[in-house]
Amino acid sequence: MSKIAKAFAIRAALTLAWPMIAVAMLSSAHAAGLQAELRSAQQRPRAAALPRSAFLQRASIVSVVLSPDGRQVAWLNEAGRNREVWLQPTSGGEPKRLMAHTPAQQLMWTRDSRWLLLESPQQVFALAADGQTGSGIVTTLGGVGKRRVMRVDDALPAAVIVIEQHGLTPQGQPERWRLLRVDMRGQRTLLREDRRRIVGYALDPRGRLAFLQRVEGLALTIQRVDADGRLREVARCAQMRRCTPLVAGADGRDLILRGNFGEARGPELHRLMRLDADGGLRVLHADPRAEADLDSLAFDPLTRQPLIASYRSTVAANHGLDADTQRHLHRLEALLPQRDLRIDIGRARWLIESRAGHQQGSRWHLYDPDGGTVSALFDDRPRDPRSQRATQRIAESHLARKMPVQWRASDGMRLHGFVYLPPGRAAATLPLVVVPHGGPWNHWRPEYNGISQFLANRGYAVFEPNFRGSTGHGRVYTFAANGDFGNGRVQQDIVDGTRFLLASGIGDAQRVGIAGASFGGYSTLLGVTFQPELFKVGVAFVPPPDFAWTLRWILRNPESLEFGNLVPMADWLRILSLDVDDKTHMAALHAQSPLAHTARMHRPLLLAAGGEDRRVGIAGVIEYAARLKLANKDVSLLVDTDAGHANREPIAREANLYLLEAMLHRHLGGAVPAAPDPALRRYLMDNLRLCHRDLQAVCADR
């Protein structure tokens, strides 16, 4: 045997053996915990199959906010396509509707708790909430100056801080950036004007601008603002590192901030830090598990000092930053166990939003810190997606537990994800569906996912992998992709995770499918093309068939020229080893794309796309489908000409679930889907462009 043949033989042997090696490499505690979860899921009563519509319900209550004094709660209520503003005292009493129609997408309270601010894409509107007069527009947003709200003023009783562009250079770039304070009468006070882009700030307790965050090239810098207005750089974050100023100390010389810089080695997680006056950097809090980025903070309503640090990349966890706050958290976790508690602290009451991976929608509670009691405030009553009438939530007994799982990739890197197991079934006998997330710069969180719960209800084990390149687990985790988004390292992470689950007794290796949207759809195409021995069927929503082509296409879209309002997206991609001007790298991505390998695709595949998609061009999806059709492949294609990248129409969302269910039933032996009603059948007949034998029952009457 030649040396090359021996090398390939060794690689093949390692690929097959790796799942068992990876299982052995995991800690005994994690392996034991996983097996305990498998036994627990099997012992639960089996759940009845629920209608598709039950998993399509949407929240009717959004942007619930507590006044800083803790005496009032306000929220937006969606009634059909309309939004209303509601208010309720925390001491009791009936809620009242303050406004019947608003375009607002978000609510905020001023620091004095007297004004409720309604933010829409066009304006900030102040609504008097304490019996005073003067409701009206505070400031317009957007427009030529691209004005946007940063947040409510932390120092003054009633004001907001906004950033706007001012003037244009001959090249069409802003001449200056302005940081402004705007009060409830619309009076504007200039805090700072700068030729560099302002993206953050921190005020001292008197309301003076103490720190400024600017974009300088591809770096973010934090500048201390001296009393005479001069700037002195105190922190610099380059190469996609983040350093976000939050609040300045009493004398304006030290700063509390969050970021993932200043770490010599390690995962470079987002942490809560303090920058001292002498330039020293101290970590105030980081994930004790050393695997998750800081997700959110809860602040003292008077001092604006952070009191709670929360992490939600693997398990939902809150940590009090002082002994008294931690005591309250222990009490809350005992009263509301096994829940992701999102906390807003007021002086009289705390507002608690509870979520869970096995809980549909949110519940809101009030916590009395003096008495240590919790009272229910309201539930977010879901609405039927078609009729918009209030309906019942899915009972938790019908939902699968969402279990965090970790595995070792074949190069040894530890990776994270989640698994769902339908209750009352033996895990090893289940068909398994892998659901990669979109982005790819995103991540699955320990919260409810309607599609994954729908699949679990139909009797499938579901795997949500957070492959390298995902966010939420530190900068090193994200950068570990190294631009290898073809049939390479990132896809291998998904394959390794799937094989690890199979080796751990989760799923039937002969009945594995893959389904996803956007980048998850691209991973689906890769799976059925390059790993057909593993993935027996694919369902891909809005998938880019050629990742390199899609990156170039996005950069031609004006809506995508900047990422996170910080740096141009082309530069951001270059930092992530995805330079679209690197012809060699782009050619390699194309050479590994599903579009370049249609001849290798031998698995049944469903594609769904939107005619108005601004992220994944419809032309590429149609070309890919046409090539597959000409090669006589098992492909079906649905195109909704009016849909964008995300189709929020109820009938379209139900159609996606039906098609997913039908494909998995036929090829993995899962539950038989309920027949579509006349409205759903009509939508399918109108939008299915290619209809293979898998869907002939729907297409027969076309």
- Say how far apart CA 176 and CA 170 lie, in whole Å: 13
Find the CATH number of the domain harbouring 447: 3.40.50.1820
Cβ burial, residue 645 (10 Å; 0-12/13-18/19+): middle
Q: Using the predicted structure, report yes or no on whether residue 477 has a pLDDT greater than 50.
A: yes
Please give the pLDDT value at position 342: 97
At 309, is the pLDDT very low, low, confident or very high (cuts 50, 70, 90)?
A: very high
The 10s digit of each residue's pLDDT in 40-65 is 888 999 999 999 999 998 788 989 99
Position 416 in a domain: yes
Domain count for the chain, please give it.
1
Position 24 in a domain: yes
Please give the pLDDT value at position 218: 87
Position 602 in a domain: yes
Q: Using the predicted structure, report yes or no on whether residue 264 has a pLDDT greater than 90.
A: no
- Say how far apart CA 433 and CA 448 lie, in whole Å: 17
Q: Specify the DSSP element, H or E, that contains 352.
A: strand 350-356
Position 684 in a domain: no
Q: Using the predicted structure, report yes or no on whether residue 449 has a pLDDT greater than 90.
A: yes
The 10s digit of each residue's pLDDT in 641-679 is 999 998 888 999 999 999 999 999 999 999 999 999 999
Asked if residue 440 has a cis previous peptide bond (ω within 30° of 0), the answer is: yes
At 149, is the pLDDT very low, low, confident or very high (cuts 50, 70, 90)?
A: very high
Please give the pLDDT value at position 695: 80
Nearby residues of 131 by Cβ (< 8 Å), 6 or more positions away: none
At 288, is the pLDDT very low, low, confident or very high (cuts 50, 70, 90)?
A: very high
3-state SS, residue 344: strand
> What DSSP string describes 236-271?
EE-TT--EEEEEE-TTSSSEEEEES-S-SSS----E
Backbone angles phi, psi at 450, to 5 degrees: -60, -40
Task: Output 499 or 145, whichever has higher pLDDT.
Answer: 499
- Say how far apart CA 254 and CA 27 lie, in whole Å: 41
Range of the domain at 484: 3-47+395-674
Q: Using the predicted structure, report yes or no on whether residue 687 has a pLDDT greater than 70.
A: yes
Structure tokens at 344: 């807003």
Nearby residues of 324 by Cβ (< 8 Å), 6 or more positions away: none
Q: Using the predicted structure, report yes or no on whether residue 192 has a pLDDT greater than 50.
A: yes
At 453, is the pLDDT very low, low, confident or very high (cuts 50, 70, 90)?
A: very high
Position 591 in a domain: yes
Q: Which of 5-9, 95-99, 623-627 has the lowest mean pLDDT?
A: 5-9
Please give the pLDDT value at position 266: 85
Position 600 in a domain: yes
Query: Nearest CA to 85 among 61, 59, 109, 111?
Result: 61
- Say how far apart CA 573 and CA 215 lie, in whole Å: 17
Average confidence score pLDDT of the chain? 91
Query: Nearest CA to 85 among 127, 135, 133?
Result: 127
Q: Would you say how long the chain is, in residues?
A: 702
Cα distance from N-terminal residue to C-terminal residue, the chain: 57
The 10s digit of each residue's pLDDT in 297-308 is 999 999 999 999
- Say how far apart CA 359 and CA 399 lie, in whole Å: 8
Considering the entire predicted model, what is its pTM?
0.93
Nearby residues of 20 by Cβ (< 8 Å), 6 or more positions away: 503
- The DSSP code for 481 is T
3-state SS, residue 680: helix
Structure tokens at 263: 């770490």
- Say how far apart CA 640 and CA 236 lie, in whole Å: 46
Beta pairing class for 219-225 and 231-237: antiparallel
Q: Taking CA 354 as the corner, what is the angle to CA 353 and CA 357, rounded to the nearest 5 degrees?
A: 140
- Say how far apart CA 391 and CA 54 lie, in whole Å: 9
- Say how far apart CA 398 and CA 453 lie, in whole Å: 9
- Say how far apart CA 409 and CA 147 lie, in whole Å: 45
- Describe the crossing of helices 650-668 and 678-687 by its angle, rounded to 10 degrees: 80
In the numeric block, the tokens 């319900």 are attached to 57
Largest CA distance in the chain: 89
Please give the pLDDT value at position 16: 54
3-state SS, residue 701: coil
Query: Nearest CA to 461 among 425, 422, 412, 503?
Result: 422
- Say how far apart CA 165 and CA 151 lie, in whole Å: 17
- Say how far apart CA 127 and CA 133 lie, in whole Å: 9
Please give the pLDDT value at position 554: 85
What is the mean predicted confidence (pLDDT) over 678-702?
84
Please give the pLDDT value at position 381: 66
Position 351 in a domain: no
Instruction: Give CA 330 to chain center in angstroms.
Output: 27
3-state SS, residue 290: coil
Please give the pLDDT value at position 119: 97
Structure tokens at 33: 């915990």
What is the mean predicted confidence (pLDDT) over 112-133?
95
Position 199 in a domain: no
Cβ burial, residue 320 (10 Å; 0-12/13-18/19+): middle
* Beta sheet of 106-109, edge-to-edge order: 106-109, 115-119, 123-128, 136-140
